[in-house]
Amino acid sequence: MLFQIFLIGFAVWLIGRVSRQYSLRKIQLSWFLLWTIFSVGIIVVALQPGLTDRLAGLVGVGRGADLVIYVSLLLLFVAIFRHASHLHRLERDLTDLVRSLALRDAKDENFNHEDSPSDSGLSAAAGRNWSDRS
Amino acid sequence: MKIVAVIPAYNEEDRVVSAINDAVRFVDAVVVVDDCSADRTAERVRSVGAFLVRHSVNRGQGAALQTGTDFALRFLYPDVLVHFDADGQMAGEDIPRLVQPILENQADVVLGSRFLGSAVSIPWTRRLLLKAGILFTFLVSGLWLSDTHNGFRVLKAETARRLRITLNRMAHASEIIDLIAAQKCRVVEVPVTIRYTTSTLEKGQRSLGSLRVILDVVKGQFFK
């Protein structure tokens, strides 16, 4: 009973939180709906614990609690995969940005500076004037 | 034939100058990419007059290599690019031997191999891991090479244009081989000498880092 009250309280708090975030345009409608449906699901399961057992029986899983854990794990794996994909894209975008800035600055530093490498000791040691491209 | 060496560097203030001086004897220009070093790597590079490109955020050796390649292709118009390390493990004397197959139009990419040449003072654990890497690379790319994690390579400029590195950190070595196989580039392996010292081993890839390489390669396959 205590755990059911906790679950319902948590779900109500979650609905309030995502509603506020949606009203402030911090999350999109799709996320608002997803979290709201999830919270309503928690409330339904808290009020009707036997429902998960019936659902578990339908899909061939032993107990309702097992079904909840399996589904939760599946959703977590999906969430982790999405986050990993997003992080990978962010890393790639960051590298592209850092590279773009580096090349822009390098052009100025290496070719517009008084002591550009084409006049420096490096090219002299190599015995070639880089501007002489044949 | 214009040859440009690309040297990615991270916190190599003590070794980068000797690496530049070693490479410059056999190339027309040296491009060093400072991957947001915390020490005076950039100042040391400027002091010897090599081309310097600086990352404002550390992105990894693979990213630095691609940045250096882009710089060279965009501004220096090379015919051949050499990938060279900043830590003194590689020998500049090997550069002409790596370039030769390209001059003779026998290859688009030439890969250095320490197992055809010599790996001075390589720990047995590192050797074992590198051998395992050969099998892993074959499974991923289909190419059977004698040394799959050697950063000493030479590419024709037009080939370098096609092989874009997207994996930032050490997994780029596996990615390059994958790209070579996918682009059906002509590959030749040439023996090179790689020198291991206490300092390079301390700084180099830890054995556990190999797991990170495998993870990055697998991630790269999933999140293309």
For chains A and B, count residue pairs whose Cβ atoms are closer than 8 Å: 83
In the block, residue with structure tokens 């047995």: B124
pLDDT at position B125 is: 81
Mean pLDDT along residues B107-135: 80
- Per-residue pLDDT band for B95 (boundaries 50, 70, 90) equals very high
Share of chain B above pLDDT 70, in %: 87
Query: What pLDDT is stored for residue B147 in this prediction?
Result: 84
Residue A115 has pLDDT above 70, yes or no: no
Helix, strand or coil for residue B194? Answer: strand
Asked if residue A18 lies in contact with residue A32, where contact means CB atoms within 8 angstroms, the answer is yes
- Please write down the long-range contacts of A11-18, taking CB distance under 8 Å and 24 or more positions apart: A11/A39, A11/A40, A11/A42, A11/A43, A11/A46, A12/A39, A12/A43, A14/A38, A14/A39, A14/A42, A15/A39, A15/A40
Predicted pLDDT at B223: 67
Which chain B residues contact residue A92 at CB under 8 A?
166
Among A108-122, B55-69, B97-111, whose mean pLDDT is lowest? A108-122
The ipTM assigned to this model is 0.84
Is the pLDDT at B141 greater than 50, yes or no? yes
CB contact under 8 A, B67 and A102: yes
Task: Write out pLDDT tens, residues A3-61.
Answer: 889 999 999 999 999 999 999 999 999 989 999 999 999 899 889 888 888 888 888 88
Tell whether the model's pLDDT for residue B129 goes beyond 90.
Answer: no
B69 band by pLDDT with thresholds 50, 70 and 90: very high
Confidence of residue A129 (pLDDT cuts 50, 70, 90): very low
pLDDT of residue B39 exceeding 90, the answer is: yes
Please give the Cα distance from B186 to B148 (Å, whole number). 16
Minimum distance, in Å, between the CA of residue B124 and any CA atom of chain A: 34
- By Cβ distance, the residue of A99, A105, A122 closest to B48 is A122
pLDDT band at B120 (very low <50, low <70, confident <90, very high): low
Predicted local distance difference test score (pLDDT) of residue B140:
76
Do residue B29 and residue A133 have CB atoms under 8 angstroms apart?
no
Q: What is the pTM of this model?
A: 0.78
Percent over 90 (pLDDT), chain B: 59
> Which of A77-86, A105-114, B91-100, B185-194 has the weakest average pLDDT?
A105-114
Is the pLDDT reported for residue B48 higher than 50? yes
Residue A110 is nearest to which of B51, B59, B223, comparing CB atoms? B51
Q: Name the average pLDDT for chain B.
A: 87
Pairwise CB contact (< 8 Å): A99 & B70: yes
- The predicted pLDDT at position A112 comes to 72
- In the numeric block, the tokens 């940045």 are attached to B67
The answer to whether B66 contacts chain A (CB < 8 Å) is yes
Of B49, B56, B67, Cβ closest to residue A117: B49
Band of pLDDT at residue B13, cut at 50, 70 and 90: very high
pLDDT at B116: 78
User: What is the token pair recorded at A13?
Assistant: 């708090």
DSSP A22-34: HHTTSS-HHHHHH
What's the gap in Å between the CA of A75 and the closest CA on chain B? 19
pLDDT band at residue B150 under the 50/70/90 scheme? confident
Q: Does residue B50 belong to the interface with chain A, where contact is any CB pair within 8 Å? A: yes
Q: Which of B83, B69, B59, B74 is nearest to B167 (CA)?
A: B59
Burial (CB count <10 Å: 0-12, 13-18, 19+), residue A68: middle
Q: Which residues contact B138 (CB under 8 A, 6 or more apart)?
A: B144
pLDDT, mean of residues A102-112: 90
Residue B63 and residue A98: Cβ atoms within 8 Å?
yes
pLDDT at res. A54: 86
| Mean pLDDT, range B154-183, rounded to an integer | 89
